[in-house]
Structure 1
Amino acid sequence: MVKKSLDKGVSSLKETSKEWARKVGIDSVEKLNAMIDSGRGMELVLVCEVMQSNSIYEIARRIAAEKRRIILISGPSSAGKTTFSHRLGIQLMALGLSPHAIAADNYFVNREDNPKDENGNYDFECIEAMDLEKLNTDMCKLLSGERIELPVFNFRTGKREYRGNHLQIADSDVLIMEGIHSLNPAMTYALDEADKYKIYISPLNQLYVDGGDEQQVKVSTMDGRLLRRMVRDHRTRGNDVEKTLSMWKSVRKGEETHIFPYENEADAMFNSGLIYEYTAVGRSAKPLLQAVSSDSEYYEEAQRLLRFVDMFRDIDLEYIPADSILREFVGGGCFDI
């Protein structure tokens, strides 16, 4: 399969987003709010979710038709990679395949061997933090039908352990691995390209807002990802907004270094954005942003984000299906993320 160029890959995501907006008749914040005000919020949610499900089905269908055996998934922070992996696995099961999730994080090198950055801190995001030789040896053995014992990385001790977790796969089995380096050819250097199916996932929306003087301003997708992360980090890690904002610059730097350069390696691009999501994530983010004190160094940024979420009507979170990608952030999902 001929790989997409970087520009074509991003363009593909944008075109998908535009197509979804056209189908529901919403290309602006004003139209989105009007639909919610008219009592059609649930209809909007369900239509958006079905369009996204159709995309997952199409990717699964291609994987099955092309008999790919290892699926590699990557994308920026808060793209919804974990939920997407679960949903793709379920779709593959419906097509008669048996998916097995492989956690790339279990192939970290032992802590004492982990590279350090220019400040002397452990760099857990560089590809050298992974034991690529072991990962490739294990994956090659699995794909050739051998039985292996999968490692488990103990993040408390900083060491790889073996706990009797064995795996052997048949011809109808597929491996699913998601992580920041999954599209980097160096990560799976020993695997046959014919076995790989690489997926890039990122949330994009083509919503505009009235910017005055008949100007249309595009709603920031980056702010959408930041809000997703704020809500998820508070729910799952107890982090406040300030903690998330303090890490965001580093997160973005890591994306620029380790993820975005390899978008063009993808066989499929998946848009994990949902037209209605700002109304749902914004509802969850609002009290967290309001809690930022006026004497905080992040107060102005919190106020800017509050003005952003205030543009959108709230939507009832009960409308969101249990398997929605948004459940990875707002909670209440069936995958216990």
Structure 2
Amino acid sequence: MRKIDPFHYGTIEKDEVNQQAIQNYFQLIDQAESFYHKQIHAVVTQMSENRDKTDIICLSGPSASGKTTTAYTLARSFQSNGRKARVISLDDFYLNTNQTPLNRKGKPDFESIYALDIERINRCIDELVNKGKTIIPTFDFHTHSRLEGGEKEIVISGDDVVIIEGLHGLNPLLTQVVGEDKVTRIFASVRSRFKDHDRVILTPQDVRLMRRMVRDRNSRNTTPEETMAMWDEVCEGESQYINPYRDSADFKLDTTLDYEPNIFHSYLLPFLEDRRGIAPEHYRKLDDLYQRMDEFFDINDVNCIPQDSVIREFIGKKEEK
């Protein structure tokens, strides 16, 4: 189903997706998940051809790209291939809020790479490469500070794999000590458009915004309007700190799932329908997104989505009975 256009984006046709969703959405979901996992398998297979050393992977992606799920999916795939794998989150290297740089509005700029403890990250990666062990901090997002006594030791050996994931995973500032040749870089993001023949319905950025809206609503009790209000700032940070390094990646993964507009239909449309009290500058954008999402057939059976799916990062895990 996925096609590649001259701009190197995948193209997903709305009519094909809707037809499959109506006829057999189980098959639609299975095919989309298979496309994603084939990409993961290809990376693991290629990286496992030389297994005489530890592999350090820096995995990056913009907001709502599914990079956390991708990091753990990669780890499981390496383990299935006979290699131990550990995931380290760059989020644990955030500086305390009082040390965080401010954005142009005078608020802590958590999108900036300088919100991270760059020196500590370099030291940890260097120790992993040259000593086989390091100690990493734990960041407490409730207190916005390092967790006292929360340090964890990471020990690796042989051909183990360490996956370091976060917004700034591609930035060379994080690997100044060990050098580029010691690190494999992976960029994971939504890289496909949803189209109706020649008309683009949803861009990759639209899909990420939908994901972010659903996740914020579910886990942070944040309205779609509130997510929309901060979205431009998020994208500005990505343009400054992430996009310049995309082409340095050794691998690029497309985390788009063909069926996600069909799933997000039932999650978002009820909230987008109620526009009472919405600021005028956001009304038109939300209305436009509503109209475009309403073109997709509604799949309201979320139980059919695998527990390890990228979508689960946004709608939440299936409750065990």
Q: TM-score, normalised by structure 2?
A: 0.89
Distance 1:103 1:243, change over 3 A: same
Structure 1 residues 171-208: Cα deviation after superposition (integer angstroms, max 9, x where no partner) = 23211111111101112111232321111111132432
Aligned partner of 2:56 in structure 1 is: 70
Paired residues of 1:154 and 1:161 also in contact (CA < 8 A): no
Distance 1:295 1:97, change over 3 A: closer
Paired residues of 2:132 and 2:155 also in contact (CA < 8 A): yes
How far apart are 1:11 and its partner, in Å?
6.5
Paired residues of 1:101 and 1:175 also in contact (CA < 8 A): yes
Q: How does 1:190-201 map to 2 (within 5 A)?
A: 190-201=177-188
Q: Unaligned 5+ residue runs, structure 1?
A: 1-9, 19-26, 211-215
Q: Which is worse superposed, 311-320 or 163-172?
A: 163-172
Distance 1:11 1:65, change over 3 A: farther
Paired residues of 1:63 and 1:197 also in contact (CA < 8 A): no
Q: How does 1:97-108 map to 2 (within 5 A)?
A: 97-108=83-94
Q: Unaligned 5+ residue runs, structure 2?
A: none
Aligned mates of 2:290, 2:98 — CA distance in 1: 43
Aligned mates of 2:318, 2:171 — CA distance in 1: 30
SS in structure 2 at match of 1:120 = coil
Aligned partner of 1:177 in structure 2 is: 164
Aligned mates of 1:205, 1:134 — CA distance in 2: 36
Aligned partner of 2:223 in structure 1 is: 240
Structure 1 residues 302-332: Cα deviation after superposition (integer angstroms, max 9, x where no partner) = 2211111110001232332111111111222
Distance 1:305 1:206, change over 3 A: closer
Is it true that 1:46 corresponds to 2:33 in the alignment?
A: no
Q: Report sequence identity in percent.
A: 29
Q: How does 1:16-55 map to 2 (within 5 A)?
A: 17-18=10-11, 27-37=12-22, 39-55=23-39
For the aligned residue pairs, the C-alpha RMSD in angstroms reads 2.2
Distance 1:104 1:92, change over 3 A: same
Q: How does 1:260-299 map to 2 (within 5 A)?
A: 260-293=243-276, 296-297=279-280, 298-299=282-283
Residue type of the alignment partner of 2:240:
T
Aligned partner of 1:166 in structure 2 is: 153
SS in structure 1 at match of 2:48 = helix
Aligned partner of 1:223 in structure 2 is: 206
How far apart are 1:264 and its partner, in Å?
0.9
Q: How does 1:87-126 map to 2 (within 5 A)?
A: 87-126=73-112
What is the number of residues matched between the two proteins? 309
Q: TM-score, normalised by structure 1?
A: 0.85
How far apart are 1:48 and its partner, in Å?
1.5
Structure 1 residues 197-249: Cα deviation after superposition (integer angstroms, max 9, x where no partner) = 11111113243215xxxxx2022222211111100111111111111011111
Structure 1 residues 258-293: Cα deviation after superposition (integer angstroms, max 9, x where no partner) = 111110110000000012211112221111212331
Aligned partner of 1:323 in structure 2 is: 308
How far apart are 1:146 and its partner, in Å?
4.6
Distance 1:164 1:134, change over 3 A: closer
Residue type of the alignment partner of 2:303:
E
